[in-house]
Each structure stands twice: as structure tokens, then as C-alpha cells.
Structure 1
Amino acid sequence: MKSFRVSGFGQPLSEDNRPTPELTGTQVLLRVKAAGICHSDLHIWEGGYELGHGRKKLSLADRGVALPLTMGHETVGEIVAAGPDAKDAKIGDVALVYPWIGCGQCAVCREGDENMCLKPRFLGVYCDGGYSDELIVPHPRYLLSLDGLDPVTAAPYACSGVTTYSALKKLEFAFDGPIVMFGAGGLGLMALSLLKAMGGKGAIMVDIDARKREAAEQAGAMATVDGAAPDALEQIAKKAGAPVRGALDLVGNSQTAQLGFDCLTKGGKLVIVGLFGGGAPWALPFIPMRAITIQGSYVGNLRETQELLDLVRANKIAPIPVTPLPLPKANEALMDLQKGRLVGRAVLTP
């Protein structure tokens, strides 16, 4: 098993070669075909999140992320072996791995919302993930058949796909008008591709990077706005042409959260997905005065992931741009993502 692992927060990934463990119980072994590199991986690699307002940085080590760790939570692989109790695993099947695995015992997990479990076992976060040529998954129920979808372009559905799908479901009440989205990276381009298939009218994409705004226009955004422009709020209102009831913040810093809040009409909702970091910028009286809802959205559950794959197949949704890279390029891909040089997703192909 060849992997590229975080051995020290902020340090280059280290190559690790070790024997493939013997499978037990319901475990399934996959030969990795594609592993997406997500912006969340940067926070894991760096070791935490900025909380703003002079507060101490949120430490992932304090939250149970132990090193060494093989990152990678957007993984597609071919089933090559199964434990004695993994009855539903079919050798040779190519599957998308659902990584947001909980304890499996608590009420939340039993209700199907393992992504909200307080004792998570997320692959690529708390357990080893897909920056490897092989991956062990604890049970075949976490393997979703691709049914003809391309492994490289489908890998991001495990995170950016289900994350945006779940977040957009929280804004369906506002689909009759324009949704304002912040951040035209992998998540933003994914959200644009899904919005139309889900029945949305369209989106205004806000990003400070001209290349990413251009990519958003090519992906079907009804308009784009430079979030750093001094009149960005006025531009959003003009291009929307109607009161904005829904905003989706895929960046999650103080500036995007403020602009997302300010662009909403009374009764609007701001859904925050991005984890860039910072502190909440809103004046509290305006929240009740304008009856604004501010809701966080964290990835999605297994059921939503299956719904997403069904939606992609039924609507023949075009994939977001991806840059395939060999596994040893994992460090370079992280650097490119950190410096904002990537459009869409980098996907490792062991």
C-alpha cells in the first residue's frame, strides 16, 4: 500500500509504503482509481481553522485528528477484496466511496445522518483516505455504484458534490429567483451544475478571481461579480433584478459572509458551507429585524449522495473541470490549491 501522508501539520506529505492489512469483518479493499483534492484538505494539512476576532486558532489535533494521516475524502476505487462478512461487495465493481462515516450506533447514525455524528470516523479526516493506491472501507454500504460515470470526474461528488447538493436543498424555497453564490472554485462550479438540474432559475456568482468568474460564466452563471469591487453589493442587486431570497457562501470568510448577509431581502436565508475562517461580521439587531436565517451546512448524508448520483445520471450533468495528476504529485497539487492556481478540481490518479 503506497500512500502520501501528513506526518506533521504544515509539512510536506511523506511517501509511505507498507503491507496491505488483512481484511476483517465487513471491510472492503479498493484499488484507488481517483482521489480528489479538496480545499478542506488544506485545513487538515495546516492543522486548523482561523476563528477571527483574535481568538486562538481551532486545532484539529485537539479535535481528534491524529497523525500520521492519509488524507483524501473524494475517492473512487475498484473493489479487489472483501472481508468474510462483506456479503454485498462485488469484486470488480467500481464505486464512489461515501467518506462521512459515523459511529453507527447513536441516534443520529441510526436516522441516516452519519455526517452529523459526534464520534466521526470520516475517511481522510479521522481515518486514512484516498491519497493512496489502496483504501480500506469499513462496510460495503458506503460504496455507491458509479454505473457508467467516469471515475475521475465523479470522485468530487463524494464531497463538493454532496456538499453543494445538500446546501442547495436548504435553499429550494428561493429557486424561483436568482441565488447568489460566493466562491467559483470546485464547490461553486459544482453548485452551478446542480442548481439547474434541481429546478433553480439561476445564480449570480461572486468571486475575486477573474479566471474563476470566467469559468463560472462558462458553467452557466447568469452573471458574475467581483467580490472585491467597492460597489459589489450594488452590482449584485442590479444583476439580480429582483429581491434576493437565497445566498450560498462557499468561501466562509468575514467578507463573503457580510456581503452574503447584506444582499438578502427580508426573510432571506444565508447558507454557509465554506471553512476559510474568520469571525461573524453581522450586527445582531439586523438578524431579527430582517428575519434573516443563517444556516450552516456540513457535507451530506449517504441518502443525499445516492440522490445526487441519480440526479447526475438522469440529467446528464456535465462534470466540473478536473486536472488529473499522478499520485506522487499530491504535494504540488496542494500547493497549487493553496495559492489559488487551480480551476475546478485536481484529482489524483494512482
Structure 2
Amino acid sequence: MRCFCVTGHGQPLELIHQDIPQPQGTEVLVRVKAAGLCHSDLHIWEGYYDLGGGKKLSLADRGIKLPLTPSHEISGEVVSAGPDAGPVQTGMIAVVHPWIGCGACPACLRGEENICVRPQSLGVMRAGGFAEYVIVPHPRYLVDLGGLDPVKAAPLACAGVTTYSAIKKFGDRIHETPVVVIGAGGLGLMAIEVIKALGGKGAIVVDIDADKREAALKEGALAAIDARAPDAATQIVEAVGGACGARAVLDLVGSTSTVSLALDSCARGGHVVIVGLMGGDITLASPIIPMRPLRIEGSYVGTLAELRELVALMRDGKIRPAPVTTRPLDEVNDALRALQQGRVVGRQVLIP
């Protein structure tokens, strides 16, 4: 089979020919029909996360080893299974939950494999979807698409479940005032849909790119604000509909400037959820947190249960797929460069 692998950070992904893997034990072999490209794949390709102040967290420090086949947004067809997998429906078209844990730690036993301290995530720790076939450790990680388009559904495994999990953390706030969504890429456009599906007041979208702001408006954003405007925080407060500020801010970028903007535009008692990993650092006087008082929370992808809920919402027609651009798998390096240069509206999905 063909697979495209990171063999050197910052170098073009290399086409490698391998034998089709044979499932062992509880494993399932899936023929890849679609594999999404995510900013996390970009970090894996580059080899580090920016911690701000000139500091970097290398992927080697996280235990990620090369060569590695990226892509954790995978949908495909079940081909075969190992002898211990139990009843498995061959031919089923499914999206794969890639955020796999060790299965034994307290987080995994709570159903939060996505925050396992010994993760086995597909496309990060194990071979992912930029290949013709992928091994899934257990059939429970397969979510039946029930007739949904596997190309449009592939981003649910990250862009979808990440925004869904993050927005759920706001609780009833989404019903009180619009959610401020910083970042209008694939996650931002998906966030607009999730907020609508959960009965929220809507989204105020913030981005530096005019094309992405326009895309957000087309997807149903209540307003789109230029993050680089000198009065961006004031515009956000006005767009939310009151002089107090935003009650809920979702930062899908996670840079120094966006986190600062999120905090500047928050109301007293505001809640900021940070998802993005673009990097940097902030300086925040600690008394400000209780005095305002602010709730600052991180959110990392999502659980298997949340992915199942999200797929059900899409099957029921309550969530539309985010805009998707398809490319042949052979164009993966062009797709990476387009993402790195900020030229992508929506999500890119590679087709083997």
C-alpha cells in the first residue's frame, strides 16, 4: 500500500510502499476513503510546538517518533478484523475515533481517553490516515456513518469533535448570549454549526483573514470582526449586545494575541475556552482572575462518546458538514504548504 510519511521534520512527506497490515487481536483493518488535514498535522510536520519566549516543545519530548504517517481525521470501509475483535460488520463505512488511550489509567476508565497520559492516538503516536489502509486497535473506535458522505464526515474526528467538546464546556452560557469564536478556519466554521445545533444564540466570529470572515458570514455567523483592528475588543463587546463584554469566548487559535484579545473582550464572570495550539505566552496579573472573576479553561479534542453524539446530530440533519476541499493523496505536500501559508478556507481532505 502507499502511505505518505514524515521522515524528516520540515521536509516533504515521503511516499513509502508497505505491505497491507494484517489485523491482530482486537484490531480492525480499514480501507481509507478520506483523510483530513489539520493544524496538528502541521505541528507534527514541523516537529515542535511554540511555547513562547523562544521556547519550543519538540515532538520527540512528547514521545512521537519518525517515520510517522499523519492524519487523525479518518473515514473508511471496514475490510477485516483480528480474531479477538468480536462481531465486526465488514463493508461498514465509519469515521474513526483517533484519540485512543492506554485503556487502563483513570482518564481512560472515565471515558476520557483523549487526555490519557500514555496516548496511542492515530496519526500522532500510531500510523494515521495518509495511507490506503489503517489499523484501528478496536472496533469500538469505529462510528457508523449510516449513509453520510465519508469525505464530508472525516473532519468530524477532529475539527468536529474538538469544537463540540469545547462548546459543551460553556454549558447554558451559549443560550444566554452569542459565543465569540476566534478563528474562522475549519474549526471555526464547524463551531458555527455546533452552536446552532445545540440551540445557542449564535456566533460572533473573529479572524485576521477577510476571506475566512466572509466564509463565516456565509455559514451563518452573526458578525465577523477583523482581529487586527485596533478596536477589535470594543467591536466584540458591541457585537455581543451589551456593554459588559462576552460571556463565552472560544479561542481556536491559541496564540499570544488571540488569548489576549479573548481576555480583553470578556465580561466579568466570563468564560474563555482555549483550543488552538498556535503557541506563544501571555502575562496575566493573578489578582485579575478572581477579581473579574474569569474562568480560563483548556479543551483538548474530544471523547468517543462525544464523537458518537456529533455523528448522530449530522445523521439527523441538525449539523451541516463544514466546507471541504478535496485533493488526491498524492498532493499532500501541496496541501501542507497551503495550510502553512494560511490559504485554506474550511478543511482539506485527501483521497487515496
Q: TM-score range by the shorter chain?
A: over 0.9
2:35 is the counterpart of 1:23: no
- State the Cα RMSD in Å: 0.9
Q: Which amino acid in 2 is paired with 1:113? A: E
Check the 8 A contact 1:246/1:268 in 2, yes or no: yes
Offset of residue 22 of structure 1: 2.5
In structure 1, how many angstroms separate the alpha carbons of the residues matched to 2:24 and 2:233? 56
2:276 is the counterpart of 1:277: no
Check the 8 A contact 2:73/2:154 in 1, yes or no: yes
Partner in structure 1 of residue 89 of structure 2: 90
Partner in structure 1 of residue 3 of structure 2: 3
Written as runs of structure 1 = structure 2, the 5 A alignment for 1:213-292 is 213-242=213-242, 243=244, 244-292=246-294
Partner in structure 1 of residue 49 of structure 2: 49
For residues 115-154 of structure 1, the C-alpha deviation after alignment (integer angstroms, 9 at most, x for no partner) is: 1110000000000000001011011000000001110000
2:316 is the counterpart of 1:314: yes
In structure 2, how many angstroms separate the alpha carbons of the residues matched to 1:281 and 1:217? 33
Offset of residue 297 of structure 1: 0.1
In structure 2, how many angstroms separate the alpha carbons of the residues matched to 1:221 and 1:28? 40
SS of the equivalent of 2:165 reads helix
Aligned length: 349
SS of the equivalent of 2:190 reads helix
Unaligned runs of 5+ in 2: none
Q: Which amino acid in 1 is paired with 2:310? A: L
Q: TM (normalized to structure 1)? A: 0.98
Partner in structure 1 of residue 114 of structure 2: 115
Partner in structure 2 of residue 294 of structure 1: 296
Check the 8 A contact 2:145/2:315 in 1, yes or no: no
Written as runs of structure 1 = structure 2, the 5 A alignment for 1:159-170 is 159-170=158-169
Check the 8 A contact 1:268/1:292 in 2, yes or no: yes
Offset of residue 284 of structure 1: 2.5
Check the 8 A contact 2:164/2:191 in 1, yes or no: yes
Greater shift, 193-202 or 235-244, is seen at 235-244
Q: Which amino acid in 2 is paired with 1:329? A: E
| Identity fraction in percent | 58
SS of the equivalent of 1:168 reads helix
Runs of 4+ deviating beyond 3 Å: none
Greater shift, 71-80 or 303-312, is seen at 303-312
Greater shift, 242-251 or 269-278, is seen at 242-251
Offset of residue 39 of structure 1: 0.8
In structure 2, how many angstroms separate the alpha carbons of the residues matched to 1:315 and 1:328? 32
Check the 8 A contact 1:322/1:346 in 2, yes or no: yes
Partner in structure 2 of residue 32 of structure 1: 32
SS of the equivalent of 1:165 reads helix
Check the 8 A contact 2:29/2:134 in 1, yes or no: yes
For residues 135-191 of structure 1, the C-alpha deviation after alignment (integer angstroms, 9 at most, x for no partner) is: 110110000000011100000000010000000001123111011110000000000
Q: Which amino acid in 2 is paired with 1:221? A: A
SS of the equivalent of 2:52 reads coil
In structure 1, how many angstroms separate the alpha carbons of the residues matched to 2:255 and 2:19? 42
Unaligned runs of 5+ in 1: none
Partner in structure 2 of residue 70 of structure 1: 69
